[in-house]
Chains A and B, each alone.
Chain A
Amino acid sequence: GAVVSQHPSRVICKSGTSVKIECRSLDFQATTMFWYRQFPKKSLMLMATSNEGSKATYEQGVEKDKFLINHASLTLSTLTVTSAHPEDSSFYICSARDQQRHTDTQYFGPGTRLTVL
């Protein structure tokens, strides 16, 4: 199956700093990637849809100036949590669709655990 990686897998930062999370599709191209947030024992909540070469589409209630998304290539999307606060601590997961296979299946990365002190 298609492989998606995320880096870092775990990050601890001080309040007020910014954190960048990378999402890469390793063996396929992805025009569209998705960013999710997951709280403990909860389901995945879609934050935004990342489109290669254009602006991301954010879900209602997600601050685009706080969660900056850049999709500079067909294999890389980045999520930057700016001026992080303890309430931003969460599990962030990205996913991507394999455009060449013309499938609706989304393949997920392993997730990034963010802890803001």
Chain B
Amino acid sequence: GESVGLHLPTLSVQEGDNSIINCAYSNSASDYFIWYKQESGKGPQFIIDIRSNMDKRQGQRVTVLLNKTVKHLSLQIAATQPGDSAVYFCAESYSGNTPLVFGKGTRLSVIA
């Protein structure tokens, strides 16, 4: 299940199940969105990105959905594996050289 508390929200899933991580972004003018995976003590690792002219994009075992109407982004991971355990961040930017703005992050915990 999903819980929100003083620390990062945590999503716990059984190995093999699908995971859905959600993100609400803040700037309606943002037109580029990325999902990153961060393991403990390491830098963020690029997973998948999407531009605002799309509402869905698929990668290997991952899918990103974008709903501009409600400013919502989600990351779906199919057949979640123990190696998927990490903190996942969404990030948004406006086209050009503007820096990415990161969301608060969600910790995904995969139960074997």
Residues of A at the B interface (CB closer than 8 Å) are: 1, 4, 6, 32, 34, 41-44, 46, 49, 91, 93, 95, 97, 104-111, 113
Contact = CB atoms under 8 A, between A and B. Distances in A.
Contact of B46 (A43, A46, A105): A105
Interface string B87-112: 00101010111011111110000000
Interface residues of B, number: 25
B97 A32 contact: yes
Contacts of A93: 43-44
Given A41-B8, A110-B42, A110-B43, A104 B103 contact: no
B43 A105 contact: no
Contact of A104 (B8, B45, B93, B104): B93
Contacts of A113: 41
Main secondary structure of the interface of A (DSSP, over half): strand
A58 B49 CA distance: 26
Contact of B45 (A6, A91, A108): A108
Given A108-B44, A109-B43, A110-B42, A43 B95 contact: no
Contact of A106 (B41, B95, B100): B100
